[in-house]
């Protein structure tokens, strides 16, 4: 019995910690910045990504995360400029966006045929195939710090480094594997695959593919995180709640249902209700009830689980 009591006390303390974490996230500066950015006429991909990443440190200022990311991109840009100058001295200089792509690729991934940056502490980027579903791969500050990421975040860093070096690049909204394309070019770049430049047929096929930006970018980033948290063996209730709530903020601005389809909106509303129930958040009890009632209606004959939750004493306390 004493051990059982101890386990219950520990469980209660953990639940309280999760609830406090969830409340801190909901009210933090990063959440407000995210809401403001997705409400803008043209949401900026990097600012969206910084706000998402900053919520992992909800007690910190947003500009601390932004400064780390900016410093990392500035470092890439500075080394890319040095690489471009070196190519010029070796007689390999080209022009335009292709030259910038080659230089940024060399700075991020290293480059064959050019002297290595010996005597330095340079650490090159690479796609994180082994730890693909590590949530840190979706946080742009951690991508810059660890030099590891997924196609979406690696492409974002690569594109911003190219823009800082003088050539605007867009993320290409391809399913499964995001690529990068220059605004004025006829090629694509695989930032996850070591900065490989794709010429000819692959790039030509992508010319009509729309850029991945704004609400679509925000939704894709949050979708990655939501799926990771839903499948995690650890208790990620607070993080899952944050991902689902922010996805619904995107949905609120997505009048054409292009970024967040109807089924995903239903799923996220149910996820928020389930998370609030698991956290036993008394301050949001009425909201939790409404979300679970909606989920039960949407599920129809499969809504038994939601109806059972609605009969829980958590809701009886407010009757």
Q: What's the whole-number mean pLDDT along residues 117-132?
A: 79
User: Per-residue pLDDT tens for 127-174?
Assistant: 999 999 999 999 999 999 999 999 999 999 999 999 999 899 999 987
pLDDT value, residue 184: 74
pLDDT band at 2 (very low <50, low <70, confident <90, very high): very low
Three-state DSSP at 42 gives: coil
pLDDT above 90: residue 175: no
| Structure tokens, 46 | 């990097």
**Cβ pair 144, 67 in contact under 8 A:** no
Q: How many CA atoms within 13 Å lie on the side-chain side of 270?
A: 18
pLDDT value, residue 81: 87
CA–CA separation, 247 and 252 (whole Å): 9
User: Per-residue pLDDT tens for 193-208?
Assistant: 999 998 875 666 777 7
Could you tell me how many residues make up the chain? 319
Q: What's the whole-number mean pLDDT along residues 83-91?
A: 58
pLDDT above 90: residue 212: yes
| Structure tokens, 45 | 């991909």
Element (H, E) at 180: strand 179-182
CA–CA separation, 162 and 132 (whole Å): 24
Burial bucket for residue 220 (CB in 10 Å: 0-12, 13-18, 19+): middle
Greatest mean pLDDT among 184-188, 272-276, 299-303: 272-276
User: Per-residue pLDDT tens for 12-42?
Assistant: 445 448 999 999 999 999 999 999 999 999 9
Mean pLDDT computed over every residue of the chain:
88
pLDDT value, residue 204: 65
| Structure tokens, 159 | 């594109």
């Amino acid at each position: 019995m004493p051990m059982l009591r101890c386990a219950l006390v520990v469980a209660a303390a953990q639940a309280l910690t999760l609830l406090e974490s969830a409340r801190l996230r909901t009210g933090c500066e990063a959440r407000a910045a995210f809401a403001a950015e997705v409400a803008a006429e043209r949401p900026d991909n990097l600012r969206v990504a910084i706000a998402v990443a900053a919520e992992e440190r909800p007690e910190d200022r947003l500009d601390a995360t932004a400064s780390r990311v900016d410093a990392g991109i500035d470092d890439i840009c500075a080394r890319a400029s040095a690489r471009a100058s070196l190519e010029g001295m070796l007689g390999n200089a080209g022009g335009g966006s292709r030259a910038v792509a080659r230089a940024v690729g060399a700075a991020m991934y290293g480059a064959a045929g050019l002297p290595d940056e010996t005597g330095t502490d340079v650490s090159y980027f690479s796609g994180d195939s082994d730890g693909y579903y590590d949530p840190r791969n979706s946080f742009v500050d951690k991508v810059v710090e660890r030099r590891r990421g997924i196609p979406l975040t690696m492409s974002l860093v690569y594109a911003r480094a190219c823009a800082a070096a003088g050539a605007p690049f867009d993320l290409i909204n391809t399913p499964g594997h995001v690529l990068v394309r220059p605004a004025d070019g006829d090629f694509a770049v695989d930032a996850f695959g070591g900065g490989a430049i794709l010429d000819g047929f692959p790039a030509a096929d992508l010319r009509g593919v729309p850029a991945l930006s704004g609400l679509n970018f925000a939704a894709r980033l949050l979708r990655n995180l939501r799926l990771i948290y839903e499948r995690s063996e650890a208790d990620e209730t607070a993080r899952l709640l944050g991902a689902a709530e922010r996805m619904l903020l995107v949905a609120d601005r997505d009048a054409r249902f292009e970024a967040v389809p109807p089924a995903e909106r239903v799923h996220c509303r149910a996820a928020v209700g389930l998370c609030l129930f698991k956290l036993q958040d008394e301050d949001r009890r009425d909201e939790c009830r409404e979300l679970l009632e909606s989920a039960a209606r949407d599920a129809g004959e499969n809504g038994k689980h939601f109806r059972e939750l609605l009969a829980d004493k958590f809701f009886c306390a407010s009757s």
